[in-house]
Amino acid sequence: MASKKLNGTVIVTYRCNARCSMCSRYKCPSKPEEELSIETIRKLPEMYFTNITGGEPFIRTDLKEIVRELYKKSDRIVISTNGFFTDRILDLCREFPDIGIRISIEGLENTNNEIRGLPDGFNKGYTTLEKLVGMGMKDVGFGMTIQDKNAPDLVPLYKLSDRMGMEFATASLHNSFYFVEAGNIIHDRPMVAQNLETLINELLSSRSPKKWFRAYFNHGLINYIYGQKRLLPCDMSFDTFFIDPYGDVMPCNGTKDKEVMGNLNEQTWEELWNSEKAEAVRKKVRCCDRNCWMIGSVSPAMHKYIWSPAWWVIKHKFLFFWKKKKYSMYENKIARDYRDGKVSREELDRCSTCERNAIVKDGLSTASREQLKGRSGEEIVEADLAKQFEYDGRTDR
């Protein structure tokens, strides 16, 4: 099982300088001393795709060394970032011009800054993207988490990314230990779905096959926000994995609490991947009912079950060009049922993973949790960053 190339997500840190309204990870940072070492990174298997994420990965001052190691064992690397540390991003990309960079931008300027809570976050992110394009980076794009507040900005932001020749990745609200959230939920589902419908039609009308498949992904997002069963099976932990800053290998980042297959600080990859513990997690994945629709779990499924999205694309391209028939959100039965009053909002809410009174899990180690006694996560990360930039002898970031 371990000999074939895998799809891996490497969570290099839980430290984050943003204050996103839909993710409380910034309140629960990891301790830098405990975060993935280069030795552990070296133990990772060969991957056909690697996503480097956080927290905010560029908070790690040794990110370049991490990328150097991952570069040796990965066909493709994409880093997800909030785009705040422009100089660090540009510096890394000078050495690795063929990696991908996705900057989270949650809407046009005001919406983005409100959701992400980063001072001047939109301009910082946008400027970073422009500079990356300016230096010839090819695989650069926006990432947006669609919710009630930013859904009206969805299409304008897509058009902006299109004009800049950039990728445009979407997601929606999820609840899990990774986001340290249990209360995320879409309130006005028809409004959000309507904006997704417009985006889907924009994507279908393009000449890019990649965008047609993105249209399918966004169709699946409508299905997800109405709390329905995933359109494709979830095979996380079979040929896909996540590793957290403590070396714990997990199937995904969508579970309520951390599901651990093994620890790479203590085991070899082969031991871990072929262990009974890993098998037990795979069994759980087989019956998982959380129905996440995030690119990390959907992209491998779209490749594996290619005929399902391909058939959807062929059908919609045919309808679009020969019958002039646009995609409608009401192709989803649940959207029709809700419109026709056959299902209530409360019933749909119950189909979501939102649990208002749940104890929210954070996946932190004991030592990382200890540091939160008497100090908030925000204070810890701020102090950490102040030290980093003082050491650099710089005031700007």
**CB 285, min distance to ligand SF4, A:** 4
Q: Which amino acid is at 56?
A: E
Q: Under the criterion CB under 6 A, does residue 175 sit at the interface with ligand SF4? A: no
Q: Which amino acid is at 381?
A: V
Enumerate residues 101-160 that contact ligand SF4 by CB under 6 A. Answer: none
Taking CB under 6 A as the binding criterion, the range among 76-84, 284-292, 302-310, 315-323 that sits at the site for ligand SF4 is 284-292
User: Are 361 and 14 contacting, i.e. CB atoms less than 8 angstroms apart?
Assistant: no
In the bound state with ligand SF4, the residue whose beta carbon lies nearer, of 29 and 296, is: 296
Q: Under the criterion CB under 6 A, does residue 9 sit at the interface with ligand SF4? A: no
* C-alpha to C-alpha distance for 255 and 174, rounded to whole angstroms: 10
321-331 CB burial, b ≥16 within 10 A, e <16: eeeeeebebbb
Cβ count within 10 A of residue 221: 23
Say how far residue 157 (Cα) sits from the centre of its chain: 18
> What's the burial of 375, exposed, middle or buried (CB within 10 Å: 0-12/13-18/19+)?
exposed
**CB 341, min distance to ligand SF4, A:** 29
Taking CB under 6 A as the binding criterion, the range among 46-54, 208-216, 291-299, 315-323 that sits at the site for ligand SF4 is 291-299
* C-alpha to C-alpha distance for 310 and 160, rounded to whole angstroms: 27
Instruction: Out of 36, 185, 234, 249, point to the residue binding ligand SF4 (CB under 6 A).
Output: 234
**CB 289, min distance to ligand SF4, A:** 8
Tokens 């904006």 identify what position? 195
Tokens 């990649």 identify what position? 210
Taking CB under 6 A as the binding criterion, the range among 118-126, 180-188, 248-256, 325-333 that sits at the site for ligand SF4 is 248-256
Instruction: Out of 28, 236, 243, 302, point to the residue binding ligand SF4 (CB under 6 A).
Output: 236
Instruction: Out of 55, 254, 300, 377, point to the residue binding ligand SF4 (CB under 6 A).
Output: 254
**CB 281, min distance to ligand SF4, A:** 9
Token pair listed for 176: 């899990």
Identify which of 94, 95, 96, 125 has the alpha carbon closest to the alpha carbon of residue 108. Answer: 125
Q: Under the criterion CB under 6 A, does residue 298 sit at the interface with ligand SF4? A: no
Instruction: Out of 292, 302, 329, 334, point to the residue binding ligand SF4 (CB under 6 A).
Output: 292
Tokens 């930013």 identify what position? 150
Taking CB under 6 A as the binding criterion, the range among 147-155, 189-197, 251-259, 355-363 that sits at the site for ligand SF4 is 251-259
In the bound state with ligand SF4, the residue whose beta carbon lies nearer, of 253 and 332, is: 253
Token pair listed for 298: 């959907």
- Which residues of this chain interact with ligand SF4, rule CB under 6 A? 234, 236, 251-252, 254-255, 285, 288, 290-292, 297
